[in-house]
Amino acid sequence: MTYERNFNLLNSKFRELFFPTLMISIAGNFAVLVDAFFISMFMGSVYLSVVQSIEPFVAFINVVYWLIGLGGSVVCTMAKAGFDEERSNSYFTISIIGIIIVGLLITLSTIVFQGEYVNLLCQSPQLKSFVTQYFYYYALGIVFECYMVSVAYFIKTDGFIDMQFRAFLICNVVNIIFDVVLMKFLNLGIAGAAMATTVGHVVSAIYITIYFFKSNRTLRLIKVKTSKIFGYLADICKSGFAAASIPLYTTIRLVILNALIAGLLGDLGLSAYSMCYNALFLVDIFILGTVQSILPISAVYYKEGDFTGVDYVTKRSLKIVCVFALFFSVLLILFPQIVLFLFNVKNPADIPTIMNIIRIFSVSFIAFAITSLYSFYAESVQYDKFANLITLFQGLLFPIAFAYLFTYFWGSEGFWISLVVSEFATVLFIFIYSKVKAKRSNGEYNGFFLNRKHDAKSVFEFTIHGNVEDVVNLSENIRESFDDARISVLVSMAIEDMIVHIIDINESIDLIDVIIRDNDEYILISIKYSGIGINVMEDESIESNVAIINNVSQKIDYSQILGLNNIVITIK
């Protein structure tokens, strides 16, 4: 009987992460749509231009917590995958303390230099007073927003996905309630929308702090040696830069394109651009839900050299984001009235123009989805330079270059077409780069996603059910896989002893993945499963098993990441 790897364990983990992460993405990004919806409902769609004016600053805040929070969580995950607990806790500590300090500094700067910020963000004298109100009250909650989102990234790595979801859900429920109370009943207008957002961030930040009192968490705040702080911080920022550069370039792009479209169509152009931006944001919620599911999985599997696992989860993610993008693209092309309804557009003179703009812009969704997935994937597998190039072209160079070029030849119509062309130009750039890179690598990389080839001379991958019969049969199969009789006995014995104990201490085990990599100097055995975790170096109840396995192995490592237990046995 054969036990070829079927990816069911990986697929179940992907589904386990995907749906909560999708809900988290919806909850985490819903506040922007909620504010836009209530502003257009209670004050009129023309006031969406106020939100659009402040978007560059909001994008800048995203830069901060993606750079430190997301970047820190990625390197922390990879350190855990490498069984380096001290390093993973150091990344966690520096990220959390760092994000609080940076958040406080930004909040202080907005109080001291409020006028300068508003002048940079808004060039319209009519809107300036409204922008000032929104900016002031939003800025007061920056440190709470940065802290809450950054902690959420880390607790996902530690398996507290439900807590992460509840934190974002609380943020949005509070935001919605206070939007209605402050804008509708207390008539605080645009200032009320910003206050509601800030209150939501404060309440959710308080809730997520409960994590630090959980006894079963694996991440700890520790004392980090002063000599290592800047080195760790550099690792965090390097890891997070590709993702953080997306809102960074968005900040710069919005400032430039806001000025361009305001000069062409005035407040109507800004309002239409805001609607397009929020429609894309709606699509991005589902795209982010997918790509942030793949990020920790691909990072862990890539670190472990499981390139077939990386390839599987990446291709599955590509199908999902393309389906989401195609659905929303077709929906808004056929029914652009949905956007008009959401943002309360009632002026008959504006409706034809905005409907045409939405139809044009919706064509870009599929290209946007592919590019977004690829940039996060490239970051997770440490293709940092390529990830940075993708975000630079997509987020800044192509949109600005095509916007000015197309506007020069075709006016305002050309502006909207340029937004579509820039997205597809980025996909074309990725395709050409991947082709050239794969061709020059002499087989090291292959395919659109530049998946790596195993450096081991032979790789064996198995999936079994958690029962003793499957373990015994697998052990026999493994003995037949090696030419060297001594090695085959050592490997099969180590696997059999370990998996039998795993089955003994768990009431039930569904699936177990076993991957064996045969290199010139050593054999690496990776065993993954969901269930009760064990630490093979500390658990006295398996002393006999450890003694047996230690006799045939150089070392045994254990880690728990994303709710999966991972035991790695190294045999010389």
The CA distances from residue 482 to 96, 210, 502, 518, 519, in Å, are 48, 50, 25, 9, 12
Instruction: Return the exposure string of 147-177: e unless at least 16 CB atoms fall within 10 Å of the residue's CB, then b.
Output: bbbbbbbbbbbbbbbebbbbbbbbbbebbbe
Please state, as a whole number, how many other Cβ atoms lie within 10 Å of the Cβ of residue 486. 9
- Are the CB atoms for 190 and 54 separated by under 8 Å? no
Tell me how far apart the alpha carbons of residues 424 and 427 are, in angstroms, rounded to a whole number. 5
Tell me how far apart the alpha carbons of residues 88 and 500 are, in angstroms, rounded to a whole number. 30
Residue the block writes with tokens 């309440």 = 203
Structure tokens at 517: 């990599």
Rounded to 5 degrees, φ, ψ at 403 are -60, -50
pLDDT of residue 454: 66
- Are the CB atoms for 298 and 441 separated by under 8 Å? no
- Are the CB atoms for 5 and 308 separated by under 8 Å? yes
Q: Is the dihedral of CA 237, 240, 246, 250 positive or negative?
A: negative
Structure tokens at 146: 């940065």
Q: What is the pLDDT along the chain (572 residues), one digit of tens a residue?
A: 566 777 777 777 777 767 666 666 665 556 666 777 777 777 776 666 777 677 778 878 888 888 898 889 888 888 887 778 899 999 999 999 999 999 999 999 998 998 888 888 877 777 788 888 888 998 999 999 999 989 988 987 777 878 888 888 888 889 889 988 998 888 888 888 889 989 999 999 999 999 999 988 889 999 998 888 889 999 898 887 777 777 778 778 877 887 787 777 776 777 777 777 777 777 777 787 777 776 677 777 787 777 888 888 888 888 888 998 999 999 989 988 888 777 767 777 778 878 888 888 889 999 999 998 898 888 777 787 888 889 889 888 999 999 999 988 888 788 889 989 999 999 999 999 999 998 888 878 888 888 887 665 677 888 888 888 888 888 887 777 777 777 777 888 888 888 887 888 787 788 888 888 877 778 888 888 887 766 555 544 445 555 566 666 777 777 777 667 788 888 87
3-state SS class at 540: helix
Nearest to 132 by CA among 153, 148, 116: 116
Helix axes 226-303, 384-392, angle to 10 degrees: 90
HEC readout, 452-516 = ECCCCCEEEEEEEECCHHHHHHHHHHHHCCCCCHHHHHHHHHHHHHHHHHHHHHCCCCCEEEEEE
Domains of the chain and CATH, by start: 8-440 (no CATH), 458-571 (3.30.565.10)
pLDDT of residue 540: 46
Left (φ > 0), alpha (ψ -120 to 50) or beta: where does 563 sit?
Answer: left
pLDDT of residue 535: 57
